[in-house]
Amino acid sequence: MKLFFREHIPLFLLNLMQLIITILIFWLDGYKNASTILYASFINFFLLTTYLVYQFLSHRSLYMRLTKPVTTLDHFQVSAQSAPLTQSFEHLLGILRQRYKKEIYTYKDKLDQHVQFIHQWVHQMKTPLSVIDLILQEQNQSQVSPILYELDRLNKGLELVLYTARLDTFDRDFYVETLSLLHVVRSVTSDLKRLFIRKQLYPEIVIDPNLTITSDEKWLSFLLTQITTNAIRYTQKKGSKIIFQGKKDGNQIILEVIDSGIGIVKSDLPRVFDPHFTGENGRIFQESTGMGLYLVKQICQKLGHQIEIESMVNQGTTVRILLK
């Protein structure tokens, strides 16, 4: 209704001015019969009101559509009415809707092809890296240790690319099962043993063997790997421990990853889960991408878990995952 009134304010004002000018002309010409003037004014007002009511009723669906927010493509449709303007507007919207859907399907197809290409590329890159790793295992470990470390970094980087690409198709690659929390954490720390050894840090696991969770093992292992990698990267003191602590709190299982590293400045904490945000520590450690914790947050949301982070500069960081 408001839109209709705003649109017809100029017409109403024009009609009013025309009526005033007409009455003024007759009045100045000596015609001063007030009852006739009032009757003519009433007829004019009645005809104007009738026209506006007709206009509103014939274009009601159009005005209703224009005043409601659009949430889906189907909301572009306007109820069929006989008014030429409404029919033309509906025809235009139909054309735009079809073109929009066609463009969406085209871009979606291109995106699917791009994701498929990334999957193939990552798997092709992993094969030679695995071969190199097997060859280096037969060499003197003290000499090839730096190379093995860089191989691990390459593998973790490829996994980051792969899981980032898979995030949009999460529902296709998702399997929920009952897992032993201790088994999942041990598996992650075992995969990162070279990184622990190189940084001379030690994992300490404080988890009840009977503690079980419901989650997807692959995605959960990936997010734990990202959290643990960050904990190792930002812990500079040799001989320190990365503590994995699991406990039950009511209906929830809480897993904490605690380090004694450089910590995160207070001003950066609200943004650590934003994509590409590296913060103060990113300026110190140039290899930071700002994507690790963003992916962790996204995966937690899709798995139905919650994540919290606490940190103090030069004292360490605690990442807390609330599982079910």
C-beta separation of 244 from 204 below 8 A: yes
**26 vs 105, residue with greater confidence:** 105
**Phi/psi of residue 247, each to 5°?**
-155, 160
**72 vs 105, residue with greater confidence:** 105
pLDDT of 81 reads 59
CATH code that applies to domain 178-323: 3.30.565.10
Average pLDDT, the chain: 84
The DSSP line for 17-71 is: HHHHHHHHHHHHTT---HHHHHHHHHHHHHHHHHHHHHHHHHTHHHHHHHHS---
Residue 80 confidence class, pLDDT cut points 50, 70, 90: low
C-beta separation of 310 from 318 below 8 A: yes
Tokens of 295: 């992916």
Which of 45-49, 52-56, 179-183 has maximum average pLDDT?
A: 179-183
pLDDT of 241 reads 94
**54 vs 183, residue with greater confidence:** 183
Report the Cα 24 to chain-centroid distance in Å.
65
pLDDT of 73 reads 61
How far is residue 95's CA from residue 76's CA, in Å, rounded to a whole number? 11
Give residue limits of the domains in the chain: 2-99, 106-169, 178-323
Give the H/E segment covering residue 309: strand 306-312
How far is residue 81's CA from residue 57's CA, in Å, rounded to a whole number? 9
Q: pTM score > 0.75 for this model? A: no
pLDDT tens column, 138-182: 777 777 888 887 888 888 888 888 888 888 888 888 888 999 999
The predicted model gives 221-228 an average pLDDT of 94
pLDDT of 78 reads 54
pLDDT tens column, 258-278: 999 999 999 999 999 998 888
pLDDT of 182 reads 94
**241 vs 53, residue with greater confidence:** 241
Residue 216 confidence class, pLDDT cut points 50, 70, 90: very high
Residue 319 confidence class, pLDDT cut points 50, 70, 90: very high
pLDDT of 188 reads 94
pLDDT of 90 reads 74
- Range with the lowest mean pLDDT among 15-24, 84-93, 197-206? 84-93
